[in-house]
Chain A
Amino acid sequence: MTSPGESGGRETWPLWEVFVRSSRGLSHVHAGSLHAPDETMAVRNARDLYTRRAEGVSVWVVPASAITASDPDARGAFFESPQGKEYRHATYYTESDAVPHL
């Protein structure tokens, strides 16, 4: 398990990951990262850095060290193979192709 974007804790200020909601009704999306001494400054820096052109109506900041990511080397084993599981998709069911509203 690794934290993305971390570089070993030698920095003056910790690293934060920034998530921006671009408009009401949409989810927060990862915009980038920044350094800040604490969460208050991180939110302010995030506003200045990632929303200079009204790109957002809400920002989240998360300490990069608090994020747990899946192990990239275990890609195959961790993510189940989609092979042979076409039945999980609507397109698998062709008998109803000609039936309206289905």
Chain B
Amino acid sequence: MSTITGTDRPDDLDEIHAGERRFAELLANEQRVEPTDWMPEGYRKTLIRQISQHAHSEIIGMQPEGNWITRAPSLKRKAILMAKVQDEAGHGLYLYSAAQTLGIDRDTMFEQLITGAAKYSSIFNYTTPTWADMGSIGWLVDGAAICNQVPLCRASYGPYGRAMVRICKEESFHQRQGFEILLTLMRGTDGQRAMAQESVNRWYAPALMMFGPPDDDSPNSKQSMAWNIKRFSNDELRQRFVDMLVPQAEILGVTLPDPDIAWNEERGHYDFGELDWNEFREVLAGHGPANAIRVARRREAHEDGAWVREAARAYAHRQAARRSAELAEAVAS
């Protein structure tokens, strides 16, 4: 919008100013912004990035658990795991739909994921070598996700908030089933207890990093909070999560792998140790244990499915053509 040419330009500017005013009003009154409303370009871009990254995380998130469907220890556990992985596919699809209302098409988002142009939650770049990891993912990873996502139900962008409401309803089953897996192991043999503890040791810190870098190192957070997309800072959410986790760990009988965890009477919160943000940046930059595998598998699945998508489209076109031919014949006779 650098030059004003033509006679109708001032009208456009008036319209933009009216849109800006209306947008500011909506935010000030805690109201929702809907797809057809005027919105600042930055707001639209931030949301497209955040929602599509979130969708990609759900889609990639199917892999670490899909890994265990065939080896889950009982038919019941297999059925539960399949339901959970199916939910994650569903969550990805709700979110892709929400992102599309901002003007990006789905094929573009798929492309961004399989070419590695888009990011997704770095937690899914860790591997799942033991059955106890299904428990840790549910309890810690889904637990952190819920902490993050509940406030997003009130995000200012309507379609995002609505998708999050649906997702949050379904996530609580995910967390509880994970807790139950760990509880069952902790009530089992010494070997099973050791397996549960070893898994919690590996997942605890990465789960805490899911809330993102510390507040003073998170440049976009302020703007997101001003836009009512983000409601609490990364550190606030992380603290809330640790406060919930400590008593839950006691019930499980597992030890959280952080010697600095201690109740702080003065703050009314648990203190906890410094996290290794180098590791976070490394994994995010693509150097995690499974980054390459995750994206390669996603690309493979997408490319292997191409003929199905094309065949279904060809079939739909042919059926539609046949129907309109029949209709034309009926009209003619």
A: residues with CB less than 8 A from B are: 2, 4-5, 7-8, 10-13, 15, 32-35, 37-38, 41, 48-49, 52-53, 69, 72-73
- A52 contacts B94, CB within 8 Å? no
> Which residues 285-327 of B sit at the A interface, judged by CB distance below 8 A?
309-310, 312-313, 315-316, 319-320
- B315 contacts A5, CB within 8 Å? no
Q: How far is the CB of A85 from chain B (nearest CB, A)?
A: 23
Known: A5-B35, A72-B37. A34 touches B100 (CB 8 A): no
Tell me, yes or no, whether B130 is within 8 Å of chain A by CB.
no
Partner of A7, one of B83, B104, B312: B104
B: residues with CB less than 8 A from A are: 15, 34-37, 83, 86-87, 90, 93-94, 97, 100-101, 103-107, 162-163, 166, 170, 309-310, 312-313, 315-316, 319-320
Main secondary structure of the interface of B (DSSP, over half): helix
Give chain A residues whose Cβ lies under 8 Å from the Cβ of B162. 32
- A7 contacts B316, CB within 8 Å? no
Give chain B residues whose Cβ lies under 8 Å from the Cβ of A5. 35, 97, 100-101
Bound Cα distance from A15 to B36, whole angstroms: 17
Partner of A13, one of B34, B36, B37, B312: B312
Bound Cα distance from A11 to B106, whole angstroms: 7
Give chain B residues whose Cβ lies under 8 Å from the Cβ of A7. 100, 103-106
Give chain B residues whose Cβ lies under 8 Å from the Cβ of A38. 312, 315-316, 319-320
